[in-house]
Chain A
Amino acid sequence: MSTTTTSIDGSVSLAVRDVHLAFGSHPVLRGADLDVARGSTACVIGPSGSGKSTLLRTINRLIEPDRGDVLLDGRSVLHDDPDALRQRVGMVFQQFNLFPHLSVLRNITLALRKLKKLPEEEAVRLARAQLDLVGLAHKADARPAQLSGGQQQRVAIARALALRPQVMLFDEATSALDPELVKGVLAVMADLSAAGMTMVVVTHEMGFAREVADTVAFMDHGVVLEAGAPAAVFEAPNHPRLRRFLSQVR
């Protein structure tokens, strides 16, 4: 796709500092750190159960960390109103989480009308423009269930982008897709990254991480064990667990 997915208004830098979280007596995050420079893309890789998705959810506080801090442009978000924070931080899920009772267009206009308080026509205009950018303008009146998984995920991305977020979080956005549908979604994400969105991408797509990420972070057992430029992480991994992980996924 050659068009730019969106114009980025005000990307911010993101930092996760020593975040701890336990579900009951089971520690999931054990001092995770992550730095994402303004307008850059960080891919988080690692085995299942390593805490990648949980880390992502502490950034927009869908899950509150027990300890540690999350900073946007150097300012802690943990004392902000979480609902206001989530309007600044877009999120895309593995299962899309589109609202099945609403049309594609309504999925996008809902938050614009109810949260941003935009008038109906303005919301519809923005939503159509956003749909156009992910190549689905002609699906505006369809229900999510009438779309393929790849199309649904592109709608979910458009829905998040319509709120003009400063950071985008992707939680295994292509893991639930049939192989032939993955490419279209990754193309939209690569576009967004190139346009200068600050992004955290939890992914199993090593090719995407290698080509698109500015930083690759390897997580295992609730900590980021190693982070760096893709070339360094993939070609010269230091940590034995990262080497073992890479040998298994290649």
Chain B
Amino acid sequence: MDPLSTLWETFFDWASMREALPEMVTVGLPNTLLLAVSAALLGSVLGMLLAVAGISRTRWLRWPARVYTDVFRGLPAAATILLIGVGLAPLGMQVWGPNPYPLGVLALSLIAAAYLGEIFRSGIQSVEAAQLEGARALGFSWGEAMRLVIIPQGVRRVLPAWVNQLIALIKDSSLVYFLGLVASQRELFRIGQDYAATTGNESALLLAGLFYLALTVPLTHAVNAIDRRLRQGRPVAAPDVDLEPTGLATPSGKDPR
């Protein structure tokens, strides 16, 4: 048999794919999404706290945020998931029972938070100081100005980086298989791997890969669209020329809306 057709049969065996497909859709996909979305939410909240701590004027907030970020960005994701998932397993057993998902989500969130904290911090710090001054001049406190004016702008600026992190989470969610999953807890990768192991054919794994791409590729394109829209406010109106000295009452026909 020539190597090319071997390759073809190893990866593109339609029968194997068809066999794995139902479980991928009904079990793997929902589980992967559950892990990734939960970790994205928790990771974003933690990341925002880290970002605000990181720009705080208080050393006792700045310094722990720094150490946290260095540690969790510096460890391999697999190591963190094992450390948290296995290390805290006795505790997790008491709180959540034998389900490895809570600790898996926690570990994924802790990793994502380290990256997201840096992303949010850079976004917040990129907002001009004049914006803070403008908000303070209206009577907003520092906290209100940050919450209502600075952070919303900063987050918008780093939305593409935020989605990149979401993509990383979707992929890293496969690592929870280290923690031992029962059949109904398996996510995309694990299901693909199980089929590959039992049939000796990699096609199911390739199918899992296609599922990941189907999740991640649209996300990158969606974020570009969102990014454009946020930058411009809305689909661009006609260039607005309004000669002020005479133009206090602009003809209503010029109104773009």
A→B interface (CB under 8 Å):
1, 60, 62, 83-87, 90-91, 93, 95, 97-101, 103, 110-111, 114-115, 135, 138, 141-143, 145-148, 150-151, 159-160, 163, 180-181, 183-185, 187
Report whether B138 and A160 are in contact in the complex, using a CB–CB cutoff of 8 Å. Answer: yes
Task: Say if the beta carbon of B131 comes within 8 Å of chain A.
Answer: yes
Task: State the Cβ distance, B132 to closest chain A Cβ, in Å.
Answer: 9
- The one of B243, B248, B252 in contact with A180, judged by C-beta atoms closer than 8 angstroms, is B243
Residues of A close to B141: CB separation below 8 A: 83
Q: Which of B89-145 contact A (CB under 8 A)?
A: 130-131, 133-141, 144
CA distance A84 to B139 in the complex (A): 6
Residues of B close to A145: CB separation below 8 A: 232-233
Report whether A115 and B233 are in contact in the complex, using a CB–CB cutoff of 8 Å. Answer: no
- The one of B140, B148, B245 in contact with A183, judged by C-beta atoms closer than 8 angstroms, is B245
- The one of B137, B144, B152, B248 in contact with A101, judged by C-beta atoms closer than 8 angstroms, is B152
Task: State the Cβ distance, A176 to closest chain B Cβ, in Å.
Answer: 11
Report whether B240 and A148 are in contact in the complex, using a CB–CB cutoff of 8 Å. Answer: yes
Residues of A close to B233: CB separation below 8 A: 103, 142-143, 145-146
Q: CB-nearest residue of chain B relative to A150?
A: B244
Report whether B133 and A115 are in contact in the complex, using a CB–CB cutoff of 8 Å. Answer: no
Report whether B139 and A110 are in contact in the complex, using a CB–CB cutoff of 8 Å. Answer: no
25 examples of A-B residue contacts, CB within 8 angstroms: A1-B248, A83-B136, A83-B141, A86-B138, A97-B130, A97-B137, A99-B135, A99-B153, A100-B153, A110-B138, A111-B139, A115-B138, A135-B250, A138-B255, A142-B240, A143-B233, A146-B237, A146-B240, A148-B241, A150-B244, A151-B242, A159-B138, A163-B138, A180-B244, A184-B244
Report whether B133 and A87 are in contact in the complex, using a CB–CB cutoff of 8 Å. Answer: no
Residues of B close to A160: CB separation below 8 A: 137-138
Q: CB-nearest residue of chain B relative to A86?
A: B139
CA distance A84 to B250 in the complex (A): 36
Report whether A163 and B137 are in contact in the complex, using a CB–CB cutoff of 8 Å. Answer: no
Q: A93 and B248 in contact (CB under 8 A), knowing A83-B141, A160-B138? A: no
Report whether A184 and B138 are in contact in the complex, using a CB–CB cutoff of 8 Å. Answer: no
CA distance A143 to B153 in the complex (A): 13
Report whether B245 and A180 are in contact in the complex, using a CB–CB cutoff of 8 Å. Answer: yes
Q: Which of B234-257 contact A (CB under 8 A)?
A: 234, 237, 240-245, 247-250, 252, 255-257
Q: CB-nearest residue of chain A relative to B249?
A: A135
Task: Say if the beta carbon of B156 comes within 8 Å of chain A.
Answer: yes
Task: Say if the beta carbon of B149 comes within 8 Å of chain A.
Answer: yes
